[in-house]
Amino acid sequence: MKVAKFGGSSVASATQFRKVADIVSSDVERRIIVVSAPGKRFKEDIKITDILIQLAQAVMEGTACDEIVQAVVKRYAEIAKELELPADEFTAELEKDLRWKMNEYRHDPCHLMDAIKASGEDHNARLMALYLQEIGLEASYVNPREAGIIVTDEPGNAQILPESYEKLYHLRKRRGVLVIPGFFGYSLEGNIVTFPRGGSDITGSIVAAGVKADVYENFTDVDSIYCVNPSIVENPRQLKEITYREMRELSYSGFSVFHDEALEPVYKAGIPVCVKNTNNPAAPGTWIVAKRNHHDEPIAGIASDTGFCSINISKYLMNREIGFGRRLLQILEDEGISYEHTPSGIDNMSVILRENQLEGGKEQRILDRIQTELEVDEVHIEHGLALIMVVGEGMERTVGMAAKATAALAKANINLEMINQGSSEVSMMFGVKEEVVADAVRALYEVYFQEASVGNEV
């Protein structure tokens, strides 16, 4: 059995619906599909989810909603009409459902937002099931509550409950192709609750683990996962294989293919993932597996992200002061701030965090508290940092990986603000100024992939 998830670009139009139908009908093992809401059809287009967010905000603010509702209805009507489905009947049910949710959750803003947002996936799954039936496939829409996707009642941050997996396993007994909407589940209280960013990927992974699928396929709009962002490096190398741990590190560090939480269910269940292209399904794609051969390619990929800052602290004999690190992090916890990394020396320590967490006067409060409570010699915050992660499980057994990076950055005349390597040696982190991050990534790509490729050919 295969579980296949189709992202927003894969279900954005009638043309894409037909491609999905061809993919599903070409393999009898694709028994369960998970669909996102319609994504962008072209660069300037608006995703259905974004329109639905506008709708929820309008309801909360008490402003006019009819025009936004009709924008949603029109998008689905276009798809249905082009697929020669009963568009009027379908869109009448869609509008009725939207208006019911708008009224039902009007005085509960958090659940209102989730219920409205989830409508994108929900009605797209219903439409996909209708189309598959129309072309002669035995197919049915399965609501997440019916499927057994039971979650915590945390709007926008749903977590799957353990009992869901046993309920999901019963889907194996159902006939035909099952179409499940991604992105949301139901709480024990009966509320619609959405998963965090990348929610449809999370649904697909949960369903695959629940039914004990042989493979979880994730269809998107690229032939495979690239080892580096193609908007930074032209025509980068495509990855044939990558491990769960490597993918998790890269997702955390800026790779947009998978949200880092989305892999956990299939990782625990040991189910391989194949990332494929809806527009070119014959391409082999990229496999995400438990283990791979690291001998020829110790590095799996390079990821980068911007928007970081560093709290830099100096204090003579810091290393002899018991509890210094704990008290420092307690100050951040008191302000509701999470951190990313903590590089340190014997008399200095840095805390790397997202700089958007320092809004609302938090920055000065933190600086004042660190100075007063920890009696440090110096404390300041450095803004405008970018983090680059070089990821690969093969680094642990390959000599000179860090030296290659620092030499490449020096050659490109890029100053390193910081460097950090975890004890697992799956990744190395480099901090640079945001304005040079693209140059730094290109320098690292050249030394790890282009030079390595030439070496292997020789």
C-alpha angle 59/65/70, rounded to 5°?
135
pLDDT at 103: 94
Of 287, 118, 98, 96, nearest to 186 by C-alpha is 118
Strands (E), 315-448: 348-354, 378-391, 418-421, 427-433
Can you tell me the distance from the alpha carbon of 190 to that of 341, in angstroms, rounded to the nearest whole number? 39
**In terms of DSSP bridges, do strands 215-220 and 2-6 run parallel, antiparallel, or are they unpaired?**
parallel
Tens-digit pLDDT profile for residues 170-228: 999 999 999 999 999 999 999 999 998 778 999 999 999 999 999 999 999 889 999 99
Dihedral angle computed from the Cα positions of residues 207, 129, 151 and 286, in that order, rounded to the nearest 10 degrees = 40
Beta partners for residue 276, in sequence order? 219
Of the two residues 419 and 455, the one the predictor is more confident about is 419
Of the two residues 261 and 282, the one the predictor is more confident about is 282
Tens-digit pLDDT profile for residues 55-88: 999 999 999 999 999 999 999 999 999 999 999 9
Structure tokens at 329: 């992090």
Q: What is the CA radius of gyration of the chain?
A: 24
Can you tell me the distance from the alpha carbon of 241 to that of 65, in angstroms, rounded to the nearest whole number? 47
Tens-digit pLDDT profile for residues 446-458: 999 987 554 554 4
pLDDT at 270: 95
Sign of CA dihedral 258, 263, 266, 271: positive
Beta partners for residue 33, in sequence order? 4, 179
The pLDDT confidence band at residue 1, using thresholds 50, 70 and 90, is very high
The pLDDT confidence band at residue 297, using thresholds 50, 70 and 90, is confident
pLDDT at 458: 43
Tell me the average pLDDT of the chain. Answer: 93
Give how far the C-alpha of residue 65 lies from the chain's centroid of Cα atoms, to the nearest Å.
Answer: 30
Can you tell me the distance from the alpha carbon of 237 to that of 226, in angstroms, rounded to the nearest whole number? 6
pLDDT at 452: 59
Look at the chain and count its residues: 458
Tens-digit pLDDT profile for residues 343-359: 899 999 999 999 999 98
Write the CA distances from 158 to 12, 268, 321, 350, integer angstroms.
25, 19, 40, 32
% of the chain with per-residue pLDDT over 70: 97
Structure tokens at 30: 């694709």
pLDDT at 422 over 90: no
Q: Which one-letter amino acid corresponds to residue 287?
A: W
pLDDT at 90 over 90: yes
Sign of CA dihedral 274, 277, 283, 285: negative
The pLDDT confidence band at residue 400, using thresholds 50, 70 and 90, is confident
pLDDT at 296 over 80: no
On whether the CB atoms of residues 116 and 52 are closer than 8 A, the answer is: yes
Tens-digit pLDDT profile for residues 15-56: 999 999 999 999 999 999 999 999 999 999 999 999 999 999
Of 27, 37, 197, 60, nearest to 127 by C-alpha is 37
Q: What is the pTM of this model?
A: 0.87
User: What residue ranges define each of the domains in the chain, with the CATH number in brackets?
Assistant: 2-289 (3.40.1160.10), 301-457 (3.30.2130.10)
Of 386, 318, 392, nearest to 348 by C-alpha is 318
pLDDT at 445: 96
pLDDT at 302 over 70: yes
